[in-house]
Amino acid sequence: MRRYIGNKVLLTVLVAATLISCGKKSRTHSELTGWKFNDPTYGGFTANTNYAGQKVPPGMVLIEGGTFTMGSVTDDVMFDWNTTPTKQQVRSFYMDEAEVTNLEYLFYLQYLEKVYPPSDDSYRKIYQSALPDTLVWRDALGFNELLSEAYLRHPSYSDYPVVGVSWLQATEYCKWRTDRVNEKILMDKGVLKSLFDMDSVTVEGKNRFDTGTYLANPDLLFDGNEDIYGKGLYDPNAQVKKQSKKERKAAKNADDASGDDGEKLSRKDRKSKKSDQGFTGRHVKTSDGMLTQRFRLPTEAEWEYAAKAEIENREYNTIRGRKKYSWNGSTTRDDSRRRGGDQLANFKQGKGDYSGLAGWSNDGADITIRVKSYDSNAFGLYDMSGNVAEWVADVYRPIIDNDANDFNYFRGNVFKKPLIDEEGKVVVVDYNSIEFDTLDNGKIVPKDLPGSIKYVPITKRDAFMRPNYEKADNIAIGDGDMASTKNYYQDEEDMENQPRMYNSPKTPKQIGESGLIIQQYDTKTRNTLISDQARVYKGGSWKDRAYWLDPAQRRYLPEYMATNYIGFRCATDKLGAMSYKRRRKEPQR
């Protein structure tokens, strides 16, 4: 009997060991050719065999992708029919838990001020272009001057969502955040030295770290100054030797001993010494999986999918009912016994009523409120309904119809490629070649920052005979404008007599003495408010009624304009599997 039990235990251990070994295959060599990776004898071809998976970016949560019905609001009181329901598939992605706050945006401004000092005429417009419009709080018949002076910079509002930021400014912040996160990763690994610690290196302009430039050619950064790099050499497969207890004690005693100059090594020096392990002779590559993916504004489909969080209403592969807000329930008040009657979001409750009566059961805010003041939705996201509306990446069009792409829908693609010079090298913008653009509202913004790669739209030759796209600018593709309607004619005379969208309107004109009025095209050219510069913003704000808290609602504003009720949060792509979780059947209810 004992022998039987012993054999059974041994069999269990062997099966477990086999499963573990099968689950984690050794990839020391190419399974299709037999060549060894990272071996000089076989050419030293690199492969990251110790990749542990993508790390969750700081401040973000995973949004597991899936299918959902985009649009489909309960009420259409605006009668604009721009939320027609369509079935969409969204890929998994990461999204900020909450909106970008004043504190985080001020850090961005301080960085720009230090690296691109406004006192230098070469950089003055860079810092100014990033400043939020604090005058959005002004009102001709309102007393809000204090908010114009204090909301952005006073510590009382540090954790409040930043406002007065245009779509263009929010996009530039996302790019900047990508570089700072990746710069820190490389600094922590010892690949880069801190520019701000180096007295011999100026950090103004030309010494800004840029992720794209580093991956394309590290020598193009920092004017070729190799002193900025640590060892500049990384090995993802380096195995740090495990030390015994005796060896760790001996190493600690050595660290505590005097250095070459007789001084005790500081904690910072010991950390730097430790970071030198695992370097073999090259810079970090995309294939190492070390650097984070670029941060960006979420697409409209991603934002709406994350806000609806229908994952809590799923039953097997269907949805039980429809959520009106980002939380469960059909009202804006908490129905729990503990907090019954409390508002679940910060929004305008009625004419002249932005918070409710003083005391119990108001929403606690007359304007914006500290982020994470209310419970998160099922995905762990805060303030997806209320507080501030949020910019998304898409260009606005009135209708997303069933003919649109149903996989990761996005309108706004302009495909570009790096500009290559005569020597075959990518062109990096410097302070001599930086270009500025003047927006419709008169503000001047840089097209690219010094240190970044210069991108240009792809050509027709690049898209020649491609089945998936034909040109660089796909913003207006199939959106119902004049060039894409069935009644479009190349002949201008014939075109005058055909129905047209987004063009000169029909106006009544009186013809003859009889008073007969007929419809004709007038000769004056007009532009619709909808253009390629109109960007979507989603979610209700502190200034909106409850109707706009529905995640399906969509509005738009020119990308260069800012308000006191629109903020933003960042997103980034999830690589690999949709989710880290193992699949299991849900318990019966």
Q: Quote the distance between the C-alpha of residue 320 and its chain's center.
A: 30
Q: Per-residue pLDDT for the chain (589 aa), expressed as one digit of tens each?
A: 555 455 555 555 444 444 444 444 557 888 898 898 878 888 878 777 777 888 999 999 999 999 998 987 777 777 777 888 888 999 999 999 999 999 999 999 999 998 888 888 778 889 999 999 999 999 999 999 999 999 999 999 999 999 999 999 999 999 999 999 999 999 888 888 887 777 555 555 567 899 999 999 888 888 777 778 765 455 555 544 444 555 555 555 555 544 444 444 444 444 444 444 444 457 888 888 889 999 999 999 999 999 999 888 877 777 777 788 898 888 888 777 777 778 888 999 889 888 888 877 778 889 999 999 999 999 999 999 999 999 999 999 887 766 678 899 999 999 999 999 998 889 998 888 888 888 888 888 999 988 899 999 999 999 999 999 999 999 888 776 555 554 544 454 554 555 444 444 455 555 555 656 555 555 655 556 678 899 999 999 999 998 899 999 999 999 999 999 999 999 999 998 887 666 565 555 5
Give residue 203's Cα distance to chain centre. 26
- Six-digit token string for 432: 């001599």
Distance CA 492, CA 504 (A): 14
Between the CA of residue 450 and those of 130, 206, 241, 446, what are the distances in Å? Answer: 15, 6, 42, 10
Look up the pTM and report it. 0.82
d(CA 478, CA 85): 18
CA dihedral for 480, 485, 490, 492, sign (positive or negative): negative
Structural tokens at position 102 = 């004043």
Contacts of residue 381, defined as CB under 8 A and 6 or more positions apart, other chains included, come to 61, 63, 95, 97, 98, 306, 307, 309, 326
What count of Cα atoms within 13 Å lies in the side-chain half-sphere of residue 356? 16
Quote the CA–CA distance of 182 and 210 in Å, as a whole number. 9
